[in-house]
Amino acid sequence: MRNIDMTPLYRATVGFDRIADMMDRALSADGSQPTYPPYNIEKTGENAYRISIAVAGFAPDDLSVEVKEGAVVIAAKKAAETENRAYLHRGIATRAFERKFTLADHVRVEGASHVDGMLHIDLVREIPEALKPRRIAIENTAPKAVEKLDA
């Protein structure tokens, strides 16, 4: 994978550090990104999104969802089993994990739910009034008549 030098961007801009860092992280990922647990990101409306993560085997108390530093961080840690079980096959992974999803500006977490082994995190983009397009009224004024002076 080729690397892109972000130095000219840092030299010529102010305040775009977050974007450059995000691009650098995305481009430097060499396929070593964790694949556990599987997840979906879907667009549920014009300004609404949902992250769904397969968390089979985890109770709601084993999961945490936090928003910090412009990202939503989902972590899970299974409490130690107190029962002595003898598994013949253990295919449901309940190992601890942490997934981080960087949020765009003006995107906030609206809520989270745990249903049928899936953790759903609902996101909404709220565009501030100052950034929304607005229509400017055009006044209809006729030009004033020019008076002629008699000399």
pLDDT in tens, the chain (151 residues): 566 676 776 666 666 666 767 777 666 655 566 788 999 999 999 999 999 999 988 999 999 999 998 889 999 998 777 678 888 888 887 889 999 998 888 899 999 999 999 999 999 998 888 877 888 888 887 776 666 666 5
Sorted by sequence, the CB contacts under 8 Å of residue 25 that are 6+ apart come out as: none
Phi, psi of 66 (to 5 degrees): -130, 150
Could you tell me where in the chain the CATH 2.60.40.790 domains are found?
36-128
Is the pTM value of this prediction over 0.85? no
| 44 DSSP assignment | E
Q: How far apart are the first and last CA of the chain?
A: 85
Q: Which two tokens stand for residue 111?
A: 């809520």
Question: Which H/E stretch holds residue 42?
Answer: strand 39-45
Tally of CA atoms within 13 A in the half-sphere of 101 that contains its CB: 21
DSSP bridge pairs for 76: 63, 97
The CATH number given to 36-128 is 2.60.40.790
Identify the three-state secondary structure at position 123: strand
Give dist(CA 62, CA 55) in Å, integer.
10
Nearest to 120 by CA among 45, 57, 79, 60: 60
